[in-house]
């Protein structure tokens, strides 16, 4: 130390200082570095939590295209929320999912709208310091609450990597499900493990054209080599997870700065979560002694919304699908949970007489979540659970991502008789005539009200409120339960008014000499749900063309 004294200056000198540090100096500096390291670790975790928060919001976003709110997926229009454009991402967003902000610029302040994702991203950029470093600093995504064994495995892994190098290992995260999230290593390690939500990963990730459920495959090709096929899908699952980690890995590369998170979202995020149908949590148990399959439908999360208030009225229909079709003719239906997209069902279903070979030979448990509405049950999501692993390894509790609609969903939705039949109508707003044109195409499966086993149906139409107070009647189709009308009716109205108006349809059986019999009703308008809401809004948004849609008739009378 003293040998270097001549080189100690308080000011500035040319040349590089060469003083070597004494042991006690090293100790002192190391102590500071270690203290800093603690702080940095906490900071990386904090940044990780902030990043994860935004990622979660992004995942929940509907992202259905330019005609719908980026976040909640509501379509815009006169009946729906007005369309705003987010100043940052330039994507359309509704007023509920955005905030107004005074932005300071060199030219002065101006008011801008930001969607929730961009406003949260901005906030995240402030809080993480990314605004300063022009990129998100290194971070660690917080650990999932997982099974104890895996947790300790990850912990030890992390501990090994922690010292000095600070290369951050990112463990999987984004998803909310607890057991299913796996790191790449986990996926490989447990690739032999049975259905632990991973089969659902297959369905969730292979949304592309070639995605096939192992069971669906088998249904087509009878008794094929099932084990092979199952294995194939396990592999796909693990590859998908790898991709996913790869994607995250790019965010938390060992560079000091990472790509911006939104760039990251554009190249990977959207594709595997779209379309977004939410999740179903259930537990399944098979008793070989009793030949019963017990299925507890616990809850669903993040279901699509079905009405303008952002709600749905979900219920489940469930059945076992064997290679020969659905096992029970009648699908079991749960009670409806009203006004929610995160319903708690907590209902148990017991399937009796389920033979072991049925499970082994590729049956699946099929749960369809539908929206309960008196004019039809719109599809919310479907879960397909391979039952072979359930047979071999006992009870399972799982959270599965919901899948797109297929034939079984239609079967489920239509099972249970629609007493009042269906009606096909087309709507068109004609801008020249300034009128809503309603075309009654046809009805099917109407109720028989006459002694001859038929009805003599006709349709009455009116708008409410309607300044013209117009009421229309279609012609009468004699002796039929499946009448074809193809008649058009025009209601003078403005697009702006359509927002608040309802179209009321009633179907009647013409009786001579006594009062007509009621056959069914349908109301369409801005407060309708699902398909009906879509037809109504499409009609407003895309005028001068017909929008055709089947609807179920309800038995409810419409008061005058």
What residues make contact with other proteins under the rule CB under 8 A?
4, 7-13, 17, 19, 21, 25-26, 28-33, 35-36, 38-39, 42-43, 46, 87-89, 103-106, 118, 121-122, 125-127, 129, 131-135, 164-166, 253, 255-266
For residues 309 and 305, give the distance between their C-alpha atoms in angstroms, rounded to a whole number.
8
CB 282 within 8 A of CB 343: no
Residue 134 beta carbon to other proteins: minimum distance, rounded to whole angstroms: 4
Lookup: tokens for 560: 């005058």
Nearer of residues 16 and 432 to other proteins, judged by Cβ = 16
Nearer of residues 105 and 159 to other proteins, judged by Cβ = 105
Sole residue written with tokens 């997209």: 341
Residue 21 beta carbon to other proteins: minimum distance, rounded to whole angstroms: 5
Residue 272 beta carbon to other proteins: minimum distance, rounded to whole angstroms: 19
Nearer of residues 45 and 285 to other proteins, judged by Cβ = 45
Lookup: tokens for 104: 């300071």
Output the CA torsion 236→237→238→242 (10° steps): 90
Nearer of residues 93 and 369 to other proteins, judged by Cβ = 93
Nearer of residues 252 and 386 to other proteins, judged by Cβ = 252
Nearer of residues 24 and 469 to other proteins, judged by Cβ = 24
For residues 504 and 486, give the distance between their C-alpha atoms in angstroms, rounded to a whole number.
18
Q: CB-based burial of residue 110 (10 Å sphere; 0-12 exposed, 13-18 middle, 19+ buried)?
A: exposed
Q: CB-based burial of residue 411 (10 Å sphere; 0-12 exposed, 13-18 middle, 19+ buried)?
A: middle
Residue 35 beta carbon to other proteins: minimum distance, rounded to whole angstroms: 6
- Angle ∠(536,552,498) on CA atoms, nearest 5: 20
Residue 368 beta carbon to other proteins: minimum distance, rounded to whole angstroms: 38
- Give the CA distances from residue 29 to residues 21, 42, 43, 44, 420, in Å, rounded to whole numbers and listed in that order: 10, 20, 21, 22, 83
Nearer of residues 105 and 496 to other proteins, judged by Cβ = 105
Concatenate the DSSP letters of all residues of 371-433 into one string: E--TT--EEEEEEEEESHHHHHH--EEEEEE-B---HHHHHHHH-S--TT-EEEEEEEEETTT
Residue 166 beta carbon to other proteins: minimum distance, rounded to whole angstroms: 7
Residue 68 beta carbon to other proteins: minimum distance, rounded to whole angstroms: 20
CA nearest neighbour of 201 among 150, 242, 236, 172: 236
Residue 51 beta carbon to other proteins: minimum distance, rounded to whole angstroms: 13
Nearer of residues 23 and 513 to other proteins, judged by Cβ = 23
Lookup: tokens for 173: 């995260």
Nearer of residues 70 and 529 to other proteins, judged by Cβ = 70
For residues 258 and 246, give the distance between their C-alpha atoms in angstroms, rounded to a whole number.
13
Residue 105 beta carbon to other proteins: minimum distance, rounded to whole angstroms: 6
Lookup: tokens for 48: 């990780």
């Amino acid at each position: 130390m003293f040998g270097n004294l001549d080189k100690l200056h308080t000011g500035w000198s040319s040349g590089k200082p060469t003083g070597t540090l004494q042991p006690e100096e090293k100790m002192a500096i190391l102590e500071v570095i270690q203290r800093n390291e603690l702080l940095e670790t906490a900071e990386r975790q904090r940044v990780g939590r902030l990043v994860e928060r935004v990622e979660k919001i992004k995942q929940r976003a509907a992202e259905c295209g330019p005609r719908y709110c980026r976040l909640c997926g509501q379509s815009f229009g006169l009946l729906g929320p007005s369309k705003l454009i987010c100043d940052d991402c330039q994507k359309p967003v509704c007023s509920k999912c955005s905030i107004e902000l005074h932005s300071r610029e060199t030219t002065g302040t101006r008011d801008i709208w930001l969607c929730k994702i961009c406003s949260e991203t901005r906030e995240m950029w402030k809080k993480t310091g990314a605004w300063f470093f022009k990129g998100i600093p290194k971070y660690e995504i917080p650990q999932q609450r997982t099974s104890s064994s895996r947790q300790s495995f990850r912990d030890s892994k992390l501990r090994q990597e922690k010292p000095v190098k600070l290369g951050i290992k990112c463990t999987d995260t984004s998803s909310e499900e607890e057991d299913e999230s796996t790191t790449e290593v986990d996926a490989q390690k447990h690739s032999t493990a049975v259905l632990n939500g991973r089969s659902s990963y297959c369905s969730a990730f292979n949304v592309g054209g070639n995605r096939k459920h192992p069971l669906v495959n088998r249904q087509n090709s009878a008794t094929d080599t099932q084990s092979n096929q199952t294995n194939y899908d396990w592999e796909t699952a693990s590859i998908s997870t790898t991709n996913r980690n790869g994607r995250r890995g790019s965010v938390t590369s060992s560079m000091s700065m990472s790509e911006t998170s939104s760039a990251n979202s554009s190249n990977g995020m959207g594709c595997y979560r779209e379309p977004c149908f939410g999740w179903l949590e259930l537990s399944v148990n098979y008793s070989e002694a009793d030949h019963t399959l017990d299925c507890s439908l616990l809850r669903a999360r993040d279901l699509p919304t079905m009405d303008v208030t952002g709600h749905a009225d979900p219920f489940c229909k469930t059945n076992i699908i064997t290679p020969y079709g659905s096992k029970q003719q009648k699908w079991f239906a749960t009670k409806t949970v009203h006004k929610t997209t995160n319903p708690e069902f907590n209902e148990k279903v017991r399937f009796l007489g389920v033979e072991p070979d049925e499970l082994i030979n590729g049956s699946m448990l099929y749960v369809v979540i539908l929206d309960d509405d008196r004019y039809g049950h719109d599809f919310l999501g479907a879960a397909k659970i391979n039952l072979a692993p359930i047979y071999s390894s006992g009870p399972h509790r799982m959270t599965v991502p919901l899948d797109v609609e297929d034939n079984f969903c239609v079967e489920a939705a239509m099972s249970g008789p629609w007493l009042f039949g269906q009606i096909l109508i087309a709507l068109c707003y004609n801008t020249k005539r300034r009128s809503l044109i309603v075309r009654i195409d046809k009805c099917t499966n109407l109720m028989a009200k006459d002694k001859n086993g038929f009805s003599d149906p006709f349709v009455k139409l009116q708008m409410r409120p309607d300044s013209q107070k117009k009421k229309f009647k279609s012609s009468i189709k004699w002796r039929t339960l499946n009448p074809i009308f193809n008649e058009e009716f025009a209601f003078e109205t403005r697009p702006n008014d359509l927002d608040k108006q309802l179209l009321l349809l009633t179907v009647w059986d013409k009786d001579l000499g006594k009062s007509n019999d009621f056959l069914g009703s349908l109301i369409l308008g801005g407060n309708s749900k699902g398909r009906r809401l879509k037809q109504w809004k499409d009609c407003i948004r895309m005028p001068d063309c017909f929008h055709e849609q089947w609807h179920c008739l309800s038995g409810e009378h419409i008061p005058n």
